[in-house]
Protein backbone atom coordinates (compact mmCIF):
# COMPACT_ATOMS: atom_id res chain seq x y z
CA UNK A 1 0.00 0.00 0.00
CA UNK A 2 1.21 3.47 -0.92
CA UNK A 3 1.34 5.74 2.14
CA UNK A 4 3.05 8.62 0.32
CA UNK A 5 1.22 11.93 0.49
CA UNK A 6 1.19 14.90 -1.86
CA UNK A 7 1.66 18.56 -0.96
CA UNK A 8 -2.06 18.83 -0.26
CA UNK A 9 -1.92 16.06 2.35
CA UNK A 10 -3.77 13.60 0.11
CA UNK A 11 -2.56 10.26 -1.31
CA UNK A 12 0.14 10.83 -3.92
CA UNK A 13 -1.16 10.44 -7.48
CA UNK A 14 0.90 9.19 -10.43
CA UNK A 15 2.80 11.80 -12.42
CA UNK A 16 3.40 10.01 -15.73
CA UNK A 17 3.41 6.50 -17.10
CA UNK A 18 4.44 7.65 -20.60
CA UNK A 19 7.18 8.63 -20.37
CA UNK A 20 7.63 6.48 -17.29
CA UNK A 21 8.92 8.80 -14.59
CA UNK A 22 9.91 8.77 -10.94
CA UNK A 23 13.18 7.95 -9.26
CA UNK A 24 11.92 4.38 -8.96
CA UNK A 25 10.43 4.46 -12.49
CA UNK A 26 6.99 3.61 -11.15
CA UNK A 27 5.21 6.69 -12.53
CA UNK A 28 5.15 8.44 -9.14
CA UNK A 29 7.31 11.14 -7.58
CA UNK A 30 8.18 9.03 -4.53
CA UNK A 31 11.44 9.43 -2.67
CA UNK A 32 13.62 7.45 -0.33
CA UNK A 33 17.10 7.35 1.19
CA UNK A 34 18.72 6.47 -2.15
CA UNK A 35 17.08 9.41 -3.97
CA UNK A 36 19.67 12.05 -3.17
CA UNK A 37 18.21 14.49 -5.72
CA UNK A 38 14.69 14.33 -4.27
CA UNK A 39 12.88 13.75 -7.61
CA UNK A 40 9.54 14.79 -6.14
CA UNK A 41 8.02 17.68 -8.10
CA UNK A 42 5.68 16.53 -10.86
CA UNK A 43 6.11 19.13 -13.60
CA UNK A 44 4.86 19.51 -17.15
CA UNK A 45 7.79 20.31 -19.41
CA UNK A 46 7.91 23.55 -21.34
CA UNK A 47 10.33 24.56 -24.08
CA UNK A 48 11.63 27.37 -21.86
CA UNK A 49 12.30 25.06 -18.93
CA UNK A 50 13.96 22.40 -21.09
CA UNK A 51 16.27 25.04 -22.57
CA UNK A 52 16.97 26.50 -19.14
CA UNK A 53 17.85 23.19 -17.49
CA UNK A 54 20.05 22.24 -20.47
CA UNK A 55 21.91 25.56 -20.05
CA UNK A 56 22.49 24.59 -16.40
CA UNK A 57 24.09 21.25 -17.37
CA UNK A 58 21.04 18.98 -17.06
CA UNK A 59 19.91 18.09 -20.59
CA UNK A 60 16.49 16.48 -20.27
CA UNK A 61 15.74 16.72 -24.01
CA UNK A 62 18.27 14.21 -25.28
CA UNK A 63 17.48 10.51 -25.04
CA UNK A 64 19.96 8.26 -23.19
CA UNK A 65 18.79 4.76 -24.20
CA UNK A 66 21.39 2.91 -22.13
CA UNK A 67 19.75 4.38 -19.01
CA UNK A 68 16.20 3.95 -20.29
CA UNK A 69 15.77 7.72 -20.58
CA UNK A 70 13.59 8.71 -23.56
CA UNK A 71 14.40 12.41 -23.66
CA UNK A 72 11.61 14.86 -22.85
CA UNK A 73 9.60 17.23 -24.97
CA UNK A 74 7.20 20.03 -24.09
CA UNK A 75 4.01 18.59 -22.63
CA UNK A 76 5.67 15.56 -21.04
CA UNK A 77 5.29 15.24 -17.28
CA UNK A 78 8.36 14.33 -15.24
CA UNK A 79 9.44 14.08 -11.61
CA UNK A 80 11.97 16.88 -11.19
CA UNK A 81 14.44 17.39 -8.39
CA UNK A 82 12.82 19.86 -6.02
CA UNK A 83 16.01 21.92 -5.86
CA UNK A 84 16.14 22.20 -9.70
CA UNK A 85 12.50 23.30 -9.78
CA UNK A 86 13.26 25.92 -7.09
CA UNK A 87 16.31 27.08 -9.04
CA UNK A 88 14.16 27.44 -12.16
CA UNK A 89 11.53 29.29 -10.12
CA UNK A 90 14.12 31.78 -8.90
CA UNK A 91 15.23 32.28 -12.53
CA UNK A 92 11.66 32.80 -13.74
CA UNK A 93 11.68 29.51 -15.69
CA UNK A 94 9.71 27.13 -13.45
CA UNK A 95 7.46 24.74 -15.36
CA UNK A 96 3.88 24.19 -14.18
CA UNK A 97 3.29 21.49 -11.56
CA UNK A 98 0.69 18.89 -10.71
CA UNK A 99 0.09 19.37 -6.99
CA UNK A 100 -1.65 16.02 -6.51
CA UNK A 101 1.37 14.22 -7.96
CA UNK A 102 4.03 16.28 -6.13
CA UNK A 103 5.39 14.59 -2.99
CA UNK A 104 4.88 16.35 0.35
CA UNK A 105 8.67 16.35 0.93
CA UNK A 106 8.89 19.12 -1.70
CA UNK A 107 7.59 21.46 1.00
CA UNK A 108 11.00 21.21 2.68
CA UNK A 109 12.46 23.08 -0.32
CA UNK A 110 9.62 25.15 -1.81
CA UNK A 111 6.50 26.63 -0.27
CA UNK A 112 2.98 25.49 -0.99
CA UNK A 113 2.22 29.05 -2.15
CA UNK A 114 5.01 28.86 -4.76
CA UNK A 115 3.76 25.49 -5.97
CA UNK A 116 0.13 26.63 -6.04
CA UNK A 117 1.11 29.72 -8.04
CA UNK A 118 2.52 27.35 -10.71
CA UNK A 119 -0.16 24.65 -10.47
CA UNK A 120 -1.74 23.34 -13.63
CA UNK A 121 -5.36 24.47 -13.92
CA UNK A 122 -6.58 20.87 -14.34
CA UNK A 123 -5.03 19.78 -11.01
DSSP 95: P
Q: What is the mean pLDDT of residues 55-78?
A: 93
Q: What is the mean pLDDT of residues 44-55?
A: 97
Please, which pLDDT band fits residue 1 given cuts at 50, 70 and 90? very low
Please, which pLDDT band fits residue 105 given cuts at 50, 70 and 90? very high
Contact between residue 121 and residue 101 where contact means Cβ atoms under 8 Å apart: no
Please, which pLDDT band fits residue 2 given cuts at 50, 70 and 90? low
**Residue whose C-alpha is closest to residue 103's, from 45, 35, 39, 49:** 39
pTM (two decimals): 0.94
What pLDDT score does 111 carry? 97
What's the CA gap between 29 and 78, in Å, rounded? 8
Amino acid sequence: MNNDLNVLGEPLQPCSMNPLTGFYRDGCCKTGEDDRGKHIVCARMTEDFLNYTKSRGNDLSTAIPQFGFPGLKPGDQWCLCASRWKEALDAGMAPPVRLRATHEAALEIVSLDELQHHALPDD
